[in-house]
Amino acid sequence: METLLIDEIRKRKPLIHHITNYVTVYDCAQAVISCGALPVMADAVEECAEMTGYADALVLNIGTLNSLQINSMIESGKAANKKGIPVVLDPVGAGATKFRRDMVEKLLKEFRIDVIKGNAAEIALVAGASSQMKGVESIGNYDGISESAILAAKSTGSVIVVTGKTDIVTNGIDVYEISNGHETMGKIVGTGCMSASVIASHCAVEKNYALASAQALCVYGLAGEKASGKSNTPMIFKAHFMDALYETKAEDLKSFNYISRRV
């Protein structure tokens, strides 16, 4: 595999600006620090674009969406495009309500989004297919999600990341499948939100956003595997998971479960 980008993150310490879900904001900040990057959360419209101007990547998460937040996301997204830094969108619960669906469409029209990360239902919606949500959770069967991800990448021009038992990353040409991880990761609040922060940290140091996203998910899943060896109860697992992110080293590459192909 290529050079481990987390080593470059720790060397450069990129600043990752978040306009994110207030349920998981602390966890996202801690995940970024554990990777070696620096987090900042500034969602006031009066300062968000200026803060983005200092950042090396931008994370947008619609988990606790409101109209004021959308305005800040648009201002920050445009500032990120102007600076040339990656924008990562986590369309949490995108299919749950009309407001969320409409706002995801609005964000996609207002500025360039480099990476869209979501579960199967969220990505199916981005691709234009029907999806089933219960709150912000994906339900239903998505056997064709790999094809939906490729379609979404081609239609949006974004790298698409689908999280699940096997994670899928594609830019419409290259497809990565990542099978690292542990089932306990699905039992703690914030796993999806934190993964977007880890992806942004990797994209901040690598312009090939598909490769960066794939490596991020490998590191992320590997941390889950390491944590599972110490605890399978959710809250204790979570602490070990953060420590495992912090402790990831280059020699851990041999544990990656990583497949890539072209379509």
pLDDT at 256: 59
State how far the Cα of 244 lies from the Cα of 57, in Å rounded to an integer. 23
Alpha carbons 63 and 100: distance in angstroms, whole number = 9
Locus of tokens 């942004």: 200
Predicted pLDDT at 121 = 84
Residues of the chain where predicted confidence (pLDDT) is lower than 50: 1, 129-142
> Which letter does DSSP use for residue 92 in this model?
T
The predicted pLDDT at position 141 comes to 45
Q: Measured between alpha carbons, how far is 64 from 69 in angstroms, rounded to an integer? A: 9
64: burial class by Cβ within 10 Å (0-12, 13-18, 19+)?
A: middle
First to last CA, the chain: 20
CB atoms within 10 A of CB 156: 18
Is the Cβ–Cβ distance between 14 and 57 less than 8 Å?
yes
For 176-217, how does the pLDDT look when each residue is reduced to its tens digit (9 = 90+)? Answer: 999 888 888 888 888 889 999 999 999 999 999 999 999 999
- Look at phi and psi of residue 190 and say left if phi exceeds 0, alpha if psi is from -120 to 50, else beta: left
Read off the CATH number of the domain in which 193 is found: 3.40.1190.20
- Which DSSP string corresponds to 206-232? -S-HHHHHHHHHHHHHHHHHHHHTT--
Q: Read off the tokens for 15.
A: 């600043």
What does the pLDDT read at residue 230?
Answer: 87
Domain count of the fold of the chain: 1
Residue 209 · residue 115 · CB < 8 Å: yes
Residue with tokens 């959308």: 70
Residue (of 169, 214, 161) closest to 192 by Cα position? 161
pLDDT of residue 148: 84
Q: Which domain holds residue 225?
A: 5-262
Q: What angle do CA 108, 33, 37 make, to 5 degrees?
A: 65
DSSP for residue 190: T
